[in-house]
Amino acid sequence: MAYIPDNPDTVAIVEACCQFRTDYPDRLNGIISEDEYQESISNINRVAKPPTAVEGIIDDSKKTNLLITSLDVQPFKTLISICKPNKPTECTYLDLITKLGTNYAKVTFPSKKRVKFFALRQESAQTLTDYANVLRNKATTC
């Protein structure tokens, strides 16, 4: 399963055989260290990885219950909030895995927007008013 980001400042995290790959994207240099990135992906894999006991089970409700009971407190609270208005027990196993994967796969870096903001320069053909408007618009996202 591959997540294709809509936002250019979002990092696509590729899932390979039930685990997200820990390959460090070069474009993250200076934003997040390789160790921090790999630790984050390891946490995602720990939370989003289905329990191995689920592999042989056909009954969806049993899979759902096993997944829910395997989660720590914080991921469970996250699951409750992303399942609203339904309860996690009312969702299918695939829905839960998809919601958890989507929630934990979106990694955005506001510091990258700040770096781009501080790198903005007024173009020679740009009026001061236009440049101020560009700065105002960009300032709202960083």
Report the 10 Å Cβ neighbour count for 35: 9
**What pLDDT is recorded for position 127?**
92
Query: Residue range 38-66: average pLDDT?
Result: 70
Cβ–Cβ < 8 Å for 106, 3? yes
- Give the pTM: 0.40
Mean pLDDT of the chain: 74
Cβ–Cβ < 8 Å for 79, 100? yes
**What pLDDT is recorded for position 40?**
74
pLDDT of 9 higher than 60: no
SS3 per-residue string spanning the chain: CECCCCCCCEECCEEECCEECCCCCHHHCCCCCHHHHHHHHHHHHHHHCCCHHHCCCCCHHHHHHHHHHHCCHHHHHHHHHHHCCCCHHHCCHHHHHHHHHHHHHCEECHHHHHHHHHCCCCCCCCCHHHHHHHHHHHHCCC
Q: Which of 31-45, 66-80, 119-133 has the lowest mean pLDDT?
A: 31-45
**What pLDDT is recorded for position 139?**
81
pLDDT of 2 higher than 50: no
Cβ–Cβ < 8 Å for 21, 27? no
